Structure 1
Amino acid sequence: MCCKNRCISYICCAIITLISVFIVSSIIFWIVISPSNVKFHVSEASLTQFNLTNNNSLYYSLKVNVTVRNPNNNIVVYYRGIKAIAWYKDNDFGWVNLTPFDQGHKNTTVLQVLFEGQSVLKLKPRQLGEYKEETSVGVYNDMAVDFDFRIRAKFGRFKSSRFDPPIVQCRRLSVPLISKAKSSPPFSVTKCRMDRSFFVDRHTEAA
């Protein structure tokens, strides 16, 4: 009986030791890799159509270019799912799925996104007043584009499983309406943000 208890004790100690070694190794590995967030900037944005009718039908054509910079020396990012969502004054109106791609070390990639079509957009009275003012000026404020990614990452020789990084939010965009009748001010490059590390699964983090 004593021998049996001793064996169980040894097994428990071995398991605890293995778990401890794994945790410490993971922490050391993460410190050594020390990943920097991928950088996102909206470099260009323009509208050729943004017409809201009296029955709340929005006809739109929005073009957005986003530069994606992987600043890391030892991390490769595999973008396996890319969904872009367009917003106007906190109302989503357009969705586009982009082609997957791989991004190597110290690499910059430009995503070209075209939102085009028709959707229902119900604005509050104050927002509708702002829309009419912006239409007269030819620049629409409070526009936004979000990116919902599903990725894998290669840290040195270790490749992760697929996970969902935080939503990349490109907010407070002032987008000019391109018209032959009049000129509009140029678009200002805007930095996008995320609320946590790009290399942490947002579902695990939230839990």
Structure 2
Amino acid sequence: MSTKECTHHKQKRKKLIRQCCAGLLIFLFVVLLTILITWAILQPKKPRFYLRDATIFNFNVTPPNIFSTTIQITVESRNPNDNIGIYYDRLAVFAVYRDQQITFATAIPPVYQGHKDDNLWSPFVYGNNVPIAPFFVPTLTAAEAAGGVGIIFRLDGRVRWKVGTLITSRYHIHVRCPAFIPFGNVPGPGGILVGNAVKYQFVERCEVSL
């Protein structure tokens, strides 16, 4: 084979490779553009979360800096979208006091939430003999004397969106549900005795960020 023929075949092969690459790029562009247009038309909304109640089994501060609690909460999640489903692949709930986590994280089982669907979860949030920052002890002691303390129940995890047969990649979700937790075994305003625990009803809407 002559040098001229070899050069001709190489040029033809390079041209074919360029055409394949150009075709692939055009295909990917069309797919991404379709996804963006669909996303813009559907205008997905964030899920809504509500803290419905909290049942307090114990909430104790032990000197010098040990904290123990067992609380069962009820959280409602709503999907406000008409045409978008939500996969909750991973979700865990825990309690926070002044930016410090004061309980262990409790996992919520993965679930798919359809269009306009609601889900109710009632996990136990607990921590036994959890060390807390020493400077929190005076504030918690003062809060105990005043009758209660404000804490935040947080839900952190990952979600995916489902549009028709299309399922997106995972997104982080962060939920903050503020609550006022009374101390003691005697119900405060709005509380009722449930066995050896005290249950409080809430209508708190949580903050959701994605």
TM over 0.5: yes
Greater radius of gyration (CA): 2
Quote how far apart the aligned CAs of 1:57 are. 2.2
Quote how far apart the aligned CAs of 1:36 are. 1.0
8 Å Cα contact 2:162-2:168 kept in structure 1: yes
Looking at structure 1, the residues matched to 76 and 36 of structure 2 have their Cα atoms a distance apart, in angstroms, of 31
Q: Which structure features the higher share of strand residues?
A: 2
The one-letter code of the counterpart of 2:176 is Q
8 Å Cα contact 1:139-1:184 kept in structure 2: no
Q: Stretches of 4+ moved more than 6 A in 1?
A: none
Compute the TM-score of the two structures, normalised by the length of structure 2.
0.77
% identical equivalent positions: 23
Aligned to 1:183: 188
User: Where in structure 2 are there 5+ consecutive unaligned residues?
Assistant: 1-7, 191-199
8 Å Cα contact 2:155-2:176 kept in structure 1: yes
Aligned to 2:175: 168
8 Å Cα contact 2:49-2:208 kept in structure 1: no
Looking at structure 2, the residues matched to 93 and 192 of structure 1 have their Cα atoms a distance apart, in angstroms, of 19
8 Å Cα contact 2:52-2:75 kept in structure 1: yes
Looking at structure 2, the residues matched to 25 and 68 of structure 1 have their Cα atoms a distance apart, in angstroms, of 29
Quote how far apart the aligned CAs of 1:175 are. 1.9
Quote how far apart the aligned CAs of 1:67 are. 1.1
Compute the TM-score of the two structures, normalised by the length of structure 1.
0.78
Pick the aligned partner of 1:120 from 130, 139, 142: 130
Aligned to 1:61: 70
8 Å Cα contact 2:64-2:134 kept in structure 1: no
Quote how far apart the aligned CAs of 1:169 are. 2.4
User: Where in structure 1 are there 5+ consecutive unaligned residues?
Assistant: 197-207
Superposition RMSD on alpha carbons, in Å? 2.5
Looking at structure 2, the residues matched to 53 and 190 of structure 1 have their Cα atoms a distance apart, in angstroms, of 29
Aligned to 1:40: 49
The one-letter code of the counterpart of 2:147 is G
**Deviation string, structure 1 residues 92-135 (Cα, Å, up to 9, x no partner):** 1222122333322111111112223403232343x322211211
3-state SS of paired residue (2:173):
coil
